[in-house]
Amino acid sequence: MTEQIFHDAPGEAGYRAKWWTSRVLIYGILILWAFICLFPIYWTITTSFKRAPDVMQGNMVPWLNFVPDWLGWRSLGLSPDTIGTESTVRAEFLKRFLNSTIISVSASTLAVVLGSLAAYGLSRFSYRFGFMRNSDISFFFLSQLILPPVVLALPFLVLYKSLALLDSRIGLILLYTLTVLPIVIWIMRDQFASIPTELEEAALVDGLSIWGAFLTIILPIALPGMVAAFILSLVLTWNEYFFAALLTSTNAVTLPVMVASQTGSQGISWWSMAALSFAAILPLIVIGVILERFIIKGMAAGALK
Amino acid sequence: MSSTEGDLLHVVTVDDISPGRRSFGRGIVWAAAGLVGVVVILQLLDQSGHLQIGWTSWQPTLYAFVVWAVALCWAQVLIRGEYGKRALFVMPAAIFVAAMVIFPLIFGLGIAFSDWNLASPDGRKFNGTDNLVQMWHDPFYWNALKNMVWYVLAILPEYAIAFGLALLLNAQIRARKFFRVAFLLPLMLSPVAVSWMIGKSMLEARFGPISRLAREVGWDNPAFFSSPEMARFMIMAMDAWTFIPFMMIMILAGLQAIPKELTEAARVDGAGPWRGFWEVTFPLMLPVSITAILIRIIFKLKLADIIINVTSGGPGGATDSVTSFIFREYRDRSNVGYGTLLAMVYLVIIVIAMTILMKLADRWMRPKF
C-alpha cells in the first residue's frame, strides 16, 4: 500500500463535510420528489392486482404482503384467463380506446399540418390581409390559447346538434385541432425562425418553387420540432375530458369519459377502476418514457423566446 | 408571448397572369359563395316548411362552406400568382380558426342573451339582459370567480417548487435522465385518471395510503374533502402535481441557456451560492419565469376536470371553478342560455385581466439600465 502524499489541510475538512451534506440534501429532495411523482402510478398498478381485503388493509408490496391476482384485469376482460372469451366490458373498453386513438392522432396530425404551414408562412413572408400584418396574424392565432374551452362548449353543442356532428369523431377531431393549433404554431414558428433563409434562397435559385423548397428542404430539417409538437398535441388531446364529456354520449365516447363515468357509480370496485385507469394512462406513460426528449424540446421551445 | 419574426425571405418573382385566369379565379370564388347562399336559403326554406327537400341537418351548408373555402384558396393562386402561393401557407389555418372560433362566438353571443333550456320544448326565446341580472344575483358564480383567484394565486408556490426542482436537475447529479423522466410523468397523465388515482383512491378516508399516513402522523380522523379550505387545498395540490413538471421544464430550459461564464464569474467575484442565485441566476431567469407563469395562468383558468370528477364543486361550492360551475349548470339544468352568458362574462374578465398582466409583465421585463 502506497503512502498518501497529498493531504487535505485541516481547514478543508469542513469543506468536505459541507459538500457531503449538500449532496445528501440534493439527492434526498430528488428522491423524495421522484417518489411523489411515481407513487400514485405504482399504487394504481398494484391496486389493479389486489383483492378486496388487500385494499382494506392497505397492503402495498406484491408477493411480500399480498398475493397478486388478476382481479381487476379479469373484470376488464383483459386477464390471461379471460382474454380468449367474449367480454362486453372489454369490447366497450377497446371501442373507447380506439376512439381515443383515432381522435387524438387525427387531431394532432391535422393541427401539425395546418400549424406548420401557417408557422412557416409567418416566419418567411410578410402578409397583409386587410389591416392585419404578420404580428397581428400571429397574435390572432396565439390568442386562441387564452380562450377557455367553456366559452366555446355550449355554442358548439348547439351547432353540432344542428350539424348532426354531436357524438361523432369528426366533431371532436375538429375541436381538438382548434385547441392545440396555437401551441403547434408557437413551437413551429420558433423552429422555422431558427432555420436560415439562405437554404431556400439557394433552392429557389436552383429552380425549385417555394412549395417545393418547403417540402423537400425545410420540412426534413424541421422534423424534430414537428415531432415535438405532435407529441405534445397527442398528450393534450388524449387527456381531454371537458369537450368529450359534453359532446359525446354513446358512439364517440373517449377513454377519459369512460373512466369518469365509472367513478360515479356506487360501490366502486377498486381493482377494476385501478385497471381501467392504468390502461388509460399506460400509452402516455410509454410515450413519456420513450419520447421524453421530444416533449421537453417542445415545451422548451416556447420558454426561450 | 413576444412576437418574434425570423429573417423574412425576399424573392422577386415575375408573374404574368392573363386577365382570363384572373377573372376565372374571381369567378370560382363568387360561384362558390353563391352556392353557399343558395344552400343556406334552401335550408332555411326547408326548416320553415316551405320546401320539402328532406335535409335532416345543416350539413349541406357545411359542405358548401368547405367548397367555398377551397375555392378561396385556389383563387389566391389564380389571381395573385406567386404571392397567392405564399398566402396559401397561412390561409388554411386562418380559415379554419376563423370558422371554428369567430362564428361560434357570434352565435354564442346570440345564445347568451336568450332564455334557452334544451330540456324544455319551448326552444329559444330572446330575453335581453335577464341573464345578466340573474348572474349579478347568483352567489355561486361570484363564489366560483373568487375561487379562481385562489387557484391562480396557488401558481406562486407551484412556481417556487418548480424552480427548485429545475435548479436541482441542473446541478451536477447522476441519473439525471431518470429523474427528468420521473418528474415529467405526472404531466402525461389524464386529469380524470389522476382524480381517480389520487382524489378518490389515495385520499379515501378509511384506507387510502395518504389517509393512513395522516393517521400515523397524528391526525385522528383525516377527511380531505369535508372542510372548504382543505378541499380547495387538495384540488390545488392535485392540479399542482400534474402541472409542476410543465413549469419545471420551461425553467430548466432557461437555466441551461444561461452561459456558464456568468455564474462562474459571479463565483470568482466571491458570491456564495445564495447571492449568486439572487443576483445572477434569478434576474436572468426573469423573462422565462414570466412566460412560464403566464402560460400556467392560461392553463389554470381552464381548470375543471379534476373538480368535476373529485368534488363536483362541493362542499358548498368551495372548490368550484368557473368552468366546472358552468359544466354543472348545463348538466343539471340544460340551461344553455344562462351558461353561455356566464362563459362570455368569464371570457371578458379573462381578456381584461390577461391584457393587464401582459402589459405589466412587458414593463417589468424591460431592462432597467
Looking at the structure, tell me whether residues A263 and A153 fall in a common domain.
yes
Looking at the structure, tell me whether residues A188 and A123 fall in a common domain.
yes
> Is B54 at the interface with chain A, CB within 8 A?
no
Report the residue of chain B nearest A115, measured CA to CA: B93
Looking at the structure, tell me whether residues A290 and A158 fall in a common domain.
yes
Looking at the structure, tell me whether residues A131 and A269 fall in a common domain.
yes
Amino acid at A216: T
- Residue A66 DSSP SS3: strand
How far is the C-alpha of B255 from the C-alpha of B227, rounded, in Å? 40
Contact B207 A284 (CB under 8 A): no
- Contact between residue B9 and residue B86 where contact means Cβ atoms under 8 Å apart: no
Beta strands in A150-190 (DSSP E): none
Looking at the complex, report in whole angstroms how far the Cα of residue B163 sits from the nearest Cα belonging to chain A: 13
pLDDT of residue B279: 85
Instruction: Tell which B residues from 79 to 138 touch A, by Cβ distance under 8 Å.
Output: 82, 85-90, 92-94, 96-97, 100-101, 104-105, 107-108, 111
Q: Residue A265: pLDDT above 60?
A: no
Structural domain boundaries enclosing A45: 10-76
The number of residues in chain A equals 305
Dihedral of CA atoms A189, A190, A194, A197 in degrees, nearest 10, equals 20
Q: Which CATH number belongs to the domain containing residue A115 in this structure?
A: 1.10.3720.10
Asked if residue A153 belongs to a domain, the reply is yes
Of A41, A120, A192, the CB nearest to B185: A41
- Summarize the confidence of residues B84-106 as an average pLDDT: 89
- Summarize the confidence of residues A102-118 as an average pLDDT: 94
The pLDDT tens digits of the residues spanning B183-239 come to 999 988 888 888 888 888 888 777 788 888 888 887 777 778 888 888 899 999 999
Residues from chain B that touch A47, judged by Cβ atoms under 8 A, are 201
Looking at the complex, report in whole angstroms how far the Cα of residue B308 sits from the nearest Cα belonging to chain A: 9
ipTM of the complex: 0.87
pLDDT range class, residue B7, cuts 50, 70, 90: low
Contact B330 A300 (CB under 8 A): no
Of B3, B179, B201, the CB nearest to A270: B201
pLDDT of residue A86: 76
Asked if residue A82 belongs to a domain, the reply is no
Residues from chain B that touch A214, judged by Cβ atoms under 8 A, are 89
> Is B251 at the interface with chain A, CB within 8 A?
yes
Looking at the structure, tell me whether residues A179 and A70 fall in a common domain.
no
Nearest C-alpha neighbor of B309 from the set B242, B217, B246:
B242
Looking at the complex, report in whole angstroms how far the Cα of residue A242 sits from the nearest Cα belonging to chain B: 7
> Is B183 at the interface with chain A, CB within 8 A?
yes
Of A124, A163, A164, the CB nearest to B8: A124
Looking at the structure, tell me whether residues A69 and A120 fall in a common domain.
no
Looking at the complex, report in whole angstroms how far the Cα of residue A140 sits from the nearest Cα belonging to chain B: 9
The pLDDT tens digits of the residues spanning B136-155 come to 888 888 999 999 999 999 99
Looking at the structure, tell me whether residues A52 and A105 fall in a common domain.
no
Report the residue of chain B nearest A163, measured CA to CA: B58
pLDDT range class, residue B58, cuts 50, 70, 90: confident
> Is B63 at the interface with chain A, CB within 8 A?
no
Looking at the structure, tell me whether residues A119 and A233 fall in a common domain.
yes
Report the residue of chain A nearest B293, measured CA to CA: A303
Q: List the grid coordinates of A248.
A: 359525446
Contact B295 A302 (CB under 8 A): yes
- Residue A132 DSSP SS3: strand
Report the residue of chain B nearest A299, measured CA to CA: B250
Q: Residue B358: pLDDT above 50?
A: yes
The terminus-to-terminus CA distance of chain A in angstroms comes to 57
Looking at the structure, tell me whether residues A109 and A23 fall in a common domain.
no
Amino acid at B254: G
Picking from A76, A98, A121, the residue at the C-terminal end of a domain is A76
Contact A296 B180 (CB under 8 A): yes
> Is B277 at the interface with chain A, CB within 8 A?
no
Asked if residue A227 belongs to a domain, the reply is yes
SS3 per-residue string spanning chain B? CCCCCCCCCCCCCCCCCCHHHHHHHHHHHHHHHHHHHHHHHHHHHHHHCCCCCCCCCCHHHHHHHHHHHHHHHHHHHHHHCHHHHHHHHHHHHHHHHHHHHHHHHHHHHHHHCEECECCCCCCCEECCCHHHHHHHCCHHHHHHHHHHHHHHHCHHHHHHHHHHHHHHHHCCCCCHHHHHHHHHHHHHCCHHHHHHHHHHHHCCCCCCHHHHHHHHHCCCCCCCCCCHHHHHHHHHHHHHHHHHHHHHHHHHHHHHHCCHHHHHHHHHCCCCHHHHHHHHHHHHHHHHHHHHHHHHHHHHCCCCHHHHHHCCCCCCCCCCCHHHHHHHHHHHHCEHHHHHHHHHHHHHHHHHHHHHHHHHHHHHHCCCC
Residues from chain A that touch B194, judged by Cβ atoms under 8 A, are 40
> Is B238 at the interface with chain A, CB within 8 A?
no
Looking at the complex, report in whole angstroms how far the Cα of residue B118 sits from the nearest Cα belonging to chain A: 9
Contact A140 B94 (CB under 8 A): yes
How far is the C-alpha of B304 from the C-alpha of B339, rounded, in Å? 15
pLDDT of residue B16: 75
pLDDT of residue A180: 93
Looking at the structure, tell me whether residues A67 and A112 fall in a common domain.
no
The tally of domains found in chain A comes to 2
pLDDT of residue A99: 92
pLDDT range class, residue B10, cuts 50, 70, 90: low
Q: Residue B336: pLDDT above 80?
A: yes
Q: B2-7, long-range: CB within 8 Å, 24+ apart, which pairs?
A: B2/A305, B3/A135, B3/A138, B3/A139, B4/A189, B4/A190, B4/A193, B4/A305, B5/A122, B5/A123, B5/A134, B5/A135, B5/A193, B6/A123, B6/A124, B6/A189, B6/A192, B6/A193, B6/A194, B6/A195, B6/A197, B7/A193, B7/A196, B7/A197
Report the residue of chain B nearest A112, measured CA to CA: B93
For the ranges A245-254, B10-19, B38-47, B67-76, the lowest mean pLDDT is seen at B10-19
Contact B97 A140 (CB under 8 A): yes
Asked if residue A229 belongs to a domain, the reply is yes
pLDDT range class, residue B162, cuts 50, 70, 90: very high
How far is the C-alpha of B110 from the C-alpha of B113, rounded, in Å? 6
Name the pTM for this structure: 0.88
pLDDT range class, residue A234, cuts 50, 70, 90: very high
pLDDT of residue A2: 66
Asked if residue A83 belongs to a domain, the reply is no
Looking at the structure, tell me whether residues A201 and A244 fall in a common domain.
yes
pLDDT range class, residue B3, cuts 50, 70, 90: very low
The pLDDT tens digits of the residues spanning A200-215 come to 888 888 888 888 888 9
CA distance to A106, A144, A196, A197, per residue, from A113 (Å): 11, 18, 21, 21
**Residue to test with chain A: of B62, B83, B197, B334, most A Cβ within 10 A:** B197
Looking at the structure, tell me whether residues A124 and A50 fall in a common domain.
no
Picking from A76, A106, A130, the residue at the C-terminal end of a domain is A76
pLDDT of residue A91: 85
pLDDT of residue B2: 38
Asked if residue A271 belongs to a domain, the reply is yes
- Summarize the confidence of residues B172-177 as an average pLDDT: 86
Q: Residue A111: pLDDT above 90?
A: yes
Asked if residue A81 belongs to a domain, the reply is no
Picking from A76, A100, A125, the residue at the C-terminal end of a domain is A76
> Is B328 at the interface with chain A, CB within 8 A?
no
pLDDT of residue B4: 44
Asked if residue A60 belongs to a domain, the reply is yes
Q: List the grid coordinates of A260.
A: 369518469
- Summarize the confidence of residues B267-296 as an average pLDDT: 86
